[in-house]
Chain A
Amino acid sequence: MTDIRTKEAIRYLGYGRHAVDETTLAMISSSFKELEECVERRSVYRIFDCIQGEGNIIKIGKMNIASDSLAKNLKGCQKAAVFGATLGVQADLLIKKYSVTNMARAVVLQSCAAVILEEYCDDCQGKIGEAAEKEKLWMRPRFSPGYGDFDICHQKEILRMLDTAKTIGLTMTDSYMLTPAKSVTAVIGLSAVDEKCHRHGCEVCQKEDCIYRRN
């Protein structure tokens, strides 16, 4: 029996539909265990007004974004949650350590950390959704800077809007990379219309030949 976490880690490792050998499976399992002992999950979000402007322009709080893909994602949303989450520097340090002694394990840890982070973001999003539903607002899938034509440069404004350096220890480099590396920022649309939107992640992506694609 392979659980969902392990399946996701296998997918990130590029196995596709291929069978996974016992050694790798054991390494995946012990990697999850080692990560669980060191990651510090932290997240923060704030809700802002979301205004759809001319063409592909969206305004979230004071942030102006020009993006077709985000405009499509947020169509009909009056509010948007701006969200940040991180597993902390310990995950980076662990991967760095194994990059010196055991590269296979470093690669497996990398995948497992990605799984833990996604899972954590899903949990957080669930809670944001619950709170929003009380206000009769329904949630869209999360959308991160760098996806589609949502410019990565908005990373900077998002971190400032959430004061992430102070609240969750999340910062970025001059080239807009999040530090710690195992971190996510995203915009989550909130709409008064309950159109359940199930398409997210792989299913919505246009890169159909991707080796990491689900299913």
Chain B
Amino acid sequence: MKISERLGKELLFFDGGMGTLLQEAGLLPGELPEVWNITHPEKVTEIHRAYYEAGSDIVLTNTFGANACKFHDKECELRQVIEAAVTNARKAQELAGRDRDNSYVALDMGPTGKLLAPMGDLSFEDAYEAFKEAAVIGEDCGVDFIHIETMSDAYEVKAAVLAVKENTALPVFVTLIFDEKGKLLTGGDVPAAVALLEGLRVDAIGINCGLGPEQMLPILEEFRHYSSLPVIVKPNAGLPKQRNGETYYDVEPGKFAEVMGDIVKKGACLIGGCCGTTPEHIRCMTEVCRGLPVLPVEEKEFTMVSSYGQAVILGDKPLIIGERINPTGKKRFKEALKNRDIDYILKEGITQQDKGAHILDVNVGLPDIDETAMMKEVVMQLQSVTSLPLQIDTVDARAMEAAMRIYNGKPMLNSVSGKQESMEQVFPLIQKYGGTVVGLTLDEEGIPKTAEARADIAGKIIAEAAKYGIAKKDIVIDVLTMTISSEKDGARVTLDALREVRRRYGVCTVLGVSNISFGLPARPIINSNFYTMAMQNGLSAGIINPSSDDMMKSYYAYCALMNYDDNCENYIARYANQGVDAEKSPVKDGILPLQTAIIKGLKEEAHSSALDMVKEREPLDIIQEELIPALNIVGEGFEKGTIFLPQLLMSADAAKIAFSVMKDVLAKLGQEEKKKEKIILATVKGDIHDIGKNIVKVLLENYGFDVVDLGKDVAPERIVECAVKEGIRLVGLSALMTTTVISMEETIRQLRESKPDCKVMVGGAVLNQEYADMIGADFYGRDAMQSVHYAQSLFQE
């Protein structure tokens, strides 16, 4: 019988540890265990056989590190190693007299041993390719399924699962390594892992390594609470201990088996061992556990989305989806998209998180940009600065798929409608990558006028999704907000429809709220009141602006009133001091002079002072007579050693705010700012420490340069390409270590070849003047201010 037919219906036994047994058989520290499949097949086979004889139904091949990122051996090729590994396992199965019909061989796939970008240097696609290669060979060799294990990074798991599912027809099981707090080494929790892996449609999930059986019990319970899949538990023989610097595990087979019995009673239906466990542990375990009934695998009804670090569950308590990452009606945002000013977009995201958003909507659609590329870039960058789940908002199916693929979690998607074409586009994507989708209650006929008809479309969407194996819990219905100034009973119908879809289907709901007041004065009044009414009628998540005080007042008041805010804690934290502040502010002493505010690095003061000043004076004069002199004072202080880096940067931030006030006024007056000189900044290939480069960027921008920030770990070719395309005259490069200065030298060489008129300035911890001369740089900047001076002198010529 195929394993998938037995899954969740009966208890199945995995094998135990491999590494320690190989060491006992003579494997030396530092030697690759996978090579033993070829050099010592009899010993590997013997271990597998011992496990089958001890009662294991499943044996994992000795291929934990057999992927292109980790396995480098001069003698053996990856294919040979995997082939030999499968042969050994099959031979053991035969020797042990086990039938291929009721015992199995699974290809073991462990992590690459590298951290994925952006925190590390392994790209998602490279990780994918490494896993794909191993999985394809495994399938060629006839394994029964693929077991991905000991994973501590959700993003790497996603690459591995996609590689298996897109390139083989095999079932795939996944186990992750958690710590005692129930967290992955990269910070993710159990619900986030469940959301991601169920979205990717794996066949079984669970825990292995890191902990002993007792410590795994609470994590198992969490898995059982959130997951609708069969759960695997493969503990170590206790927590690792050290003796004479050697690691060992000391839970004896009898004790191990006893706790494994509890683990089965708590709902695991695939059990085995990891580090420190032996055939004896497995024999005791199968003796104690065989015949125990398995708890049924139950379908859970959580509507979950996730990021790398956390899952967000939509339900009775309303949540906030931040709407600000969207160019519609925002001139400044459109500019940012056209100029690829990703930082501006990231700031919008971080601000919304700080203001209390739970999920961020991401819409970067503009007619004249490559939406797919931009969506990918923005999602990639956003997920490295915020731990909030993202809602991918686009009508372009290509952009949606590209973003879903690289998204580190289970995304929310905006949206699908009741139109057949839309459902045919979106549902296959969810089937493949996972996701919770917003279903708009409109179809080929348009938006129905009645609540009942809108609920009917919701029903159609739910039914169609089911054909793709997409559960109702992954559909969130948007009954659409109509503008009351043009449609008199618009609000009423929307509220009725909210109640109706909740009543009929019990699904979660979302609404873009602010559309309601279009064309009316003082829109926040209408918006915030309608928002309260919508929550009262069953809105699970409003798509709103978390920076709007009126909306947030409605939100916090509603949660306090409806007992969704324990002891009104959030409400009190937010509003307790409001009365006091209101009394205080009028007696605040005058406004600080702009120069003083900037020199002291006070952002708010600089802002109000700048606002005050533009009433009386010309913005360009203020820049020349106030802003630049203030910056110069701080810059000189820094160079003299009386002002230090944090202060310099605080002043830079304060100045930036004052600049933006001037910019706004200039834009209103229809005046142009001085044209800015462009400078490329990049941290060179192989180098991922970019704080120095970021400091230089802040200062150069302050002094009126337009910085093209190419980021970190940037290939020479990309820098050259950009320099040529944009006609750049100055490139700034940073490198932290001697090992990466080589890339710096190479970048300079290529620049000289393709863009000889472009100057190069360099900086970074290992550099000095001598080194900079040696690699042919035009200028070495000891600190950020020196780069500013060099840039100024260069462009003054």
Contact = CB atoms under 8 A, between A and B. Distances in A.
- Do A and B truly interact? yes
Contacts, number: 163
A13 interface: yes
A97 B350 contact: yes
B349 to A, nearest CB: 9
Interface stretch (A65-73, A168-176, A194-202): A168-176
Interface in A97-138: 97, 99-104, 106-108, 110, 135
Contacts of A62: 28-30
Contacts of B187: 40, 88-90
Nearest to B150: A166
A40 B642 contact: no
A163 B72 CA distance: 16
A150 interface: no
Interface in A29-45: 40, 42, 45
14 contacts: A24-B646, A46-B247, A97-B385, A100-B385, A104-B649, A152-B739, A157-B30, A165-B111, A166-B150, A171-B115, A171-B120, A173-B688, A177-B686, A179-B120
Shortest Cβ-Cβ A-B pairs, 5 listed: A47-B245, A169-B185, A104-B649, A175-B686, A173-B121
Contacts of A171: 113-115, 120
Interface string B162-191: 000000000000000101000101110000
B113 A97 contact: no
Interface in B286-310: none
Contacts of A173: 114, 120-121, 686, 688
Interface of A: 13-16, 18, 20-21, 23-24, 27, 40, 42, 45-48, 61-62, 79, 81, 88-90, 92-93, 95-97, 99-104, 106-108, 110, 135, 146, 152, 157, 160-161, 165-169, 171-177, 179-181
B144 interface: no
Given A47-B245, A88-B187, A176 B646 contact: no
Contact of B646 (A18, A108, A169): A108
A196 B281 CA distance: 46
B646 A161 contact: no
A13 B644 contact: yes
B740 A175 contact: yes
A171 B385 CA distance: 21
A120 to B, nearest CB: 16
Given A27-B646, A47-B244, A104-B650, 19 more contacts: A46-B247, A93-B384, A96-B385, A97-B386, A104-B646, A146-B737, A152-B739, A160-B30, A165-B111, A165-B113, A169-B185, A173-B120, A173-B121, A173-B688, A177-B121, A177-B689, A179-B119, A179-B120, A179-B121
Given A40-B187, A46-B247, A104-B646, A95 B691 contact: yes
Contact of A101 (B347, B641, B647): B347
A61 B29 contact: yes
B653 A45 contact: no
Contacts of A169: 152-153, 185-186
A106 B648 CA distance: 13
B600 interface: yes
A208 to B, nearest CB: 15
Contacts of B186: 88-89, 169
Given A23-B601, A97-B350, A175 B694 contact: no
A24 B642 contact: no
Q: Give the bracket for the number of chain B residues in contact with chain A.
A: 35 or more
A23 B653 CA distance: 14
A103 B350 contact: no
A103 B120 contact: no
Contacts of A101: 347, 350-351
A62 B247 CA distance: 17
Contact of B246 (A46, A90, A172, A181): A46
Given A14-B645, A62-B28, A101-B347, A181 B688 contact: yes
B739 A176 contact: yes
Given A13-B646, A89-B119, A97-B385, A110 B739 contact: no
A107 B649 contact: yes
Nearest to B114: A171
B601 A179 contact: no
Interface string B26-38: 0011100000000
A86 to B, nearest CB: 9
A97 to B, nearest CB: 4
Given A93-B384, A180-B119, A99 B601 contact: no
Contacts of A104: 601, 645-650, 652-653
B209 interface: yes
A4 to B, nearest CB: 19
Interface in B656-710: 686-691, 694-695, 698
B738 interface: yes
Contacts of B247: 46
Given A102-B653, A171-B114, A179-B119, A18 B739 contact: no
A97 B738 CA distance: 27
A107 B648 CA distance: 11
Nearest to A15: B644
B392 interface: no
A180 B114 CA distance: 10
Contacts of A103: 649, 652-653, 694-695, 698
B120 A100 contact: no
Contact of B739 (A24, A160, A175): A175
A18 B642 contact: yes
Nearest to A176: B739
Contacts of A40: 179, 183, 185, 187
A107 B695 contact: yes
Contacts of B246: 46-47
B346 interface: yes
Nearest to B177: A166
A166 B209 contact: yes
A48 B245 contact: yes
Contact of B687 (A23, A92, A107, A177): A177
A76 to B, nearest CB: 19
